[in-house]
């Protein structure tokens, strides 16, 4: 099987806040957006794949448990500490953790979906 494109569809309750978070706060470039009857979505470049944000998700939680959403969106960066400081300046609460296998910073989007930064240098 040959895939032509890979992506993730993220169903959200707080559509506008999530679009602002992923495009404004995190800086994902918008590939396209649609606002038609029965279809409102924003599709962002996600490091060569796509992240499609759509309405219709479950009620948000402050932080969804893995049982509520067994997915975490990962964003690899060159310097986790610098990227974490940038997100803190933008008002995003997060925690930084250092492990033998690398450094991560955990945070959530406006719907409580789990996200994290990961240092690229120790990824493989």
Buried b (16+ CB within 10 A) or exposed e, 69-101: beeebebbbeebeebbebbeeeebebebeeeee
Position 115 pLDDT exceeds 90:
yes
> Topology of 7-122 in CATH?
2,3-Dihydroxybiphenyl 1,2-Dioxygenase; domain 1 (3.10.180)
The rounded distance, in Å, linking the Cα atoms of 76 and 85 is 15
Confidence of residue 123 (pLDDT cuts 50, 70, 90): confident
What are the structural domain ranges in the chain?
7-122
pLDDT tens readout for residues 32-83: 999 988 889 999 999 999 999 999 887 776 777 788 778 899 999 999 999 9
Average per-residue pLDDT for the chain: 93
Q: Three-state SS for 122? A: helix
């Amino acid at each position: 099987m040959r895939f032509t494109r890979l992506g993730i569809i993220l169903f959200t309750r707080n559509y506008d806040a999530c679009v602002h978070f992923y495009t404004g706060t995190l800086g994902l470039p918008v590939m396209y957006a649609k606002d038609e009857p029965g279809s409102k979505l924003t599709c962002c470049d996600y490091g060569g794949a796509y992240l499609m944000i759509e309405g219709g998700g479950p009620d948000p939680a402050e932080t969804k448990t893995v049982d509520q959403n067994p997915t975490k969106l990962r964003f690899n960066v060159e310097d986790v500490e610098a990227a974490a400081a940038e997100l803190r300046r933008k008002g995003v609460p997060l925690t930084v953790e250092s492990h033998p296998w690398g450094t991560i910073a955990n945070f959530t989007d406006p719907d409580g979906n789990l996200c994290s930064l990961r240092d690229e240098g120790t990824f493989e």
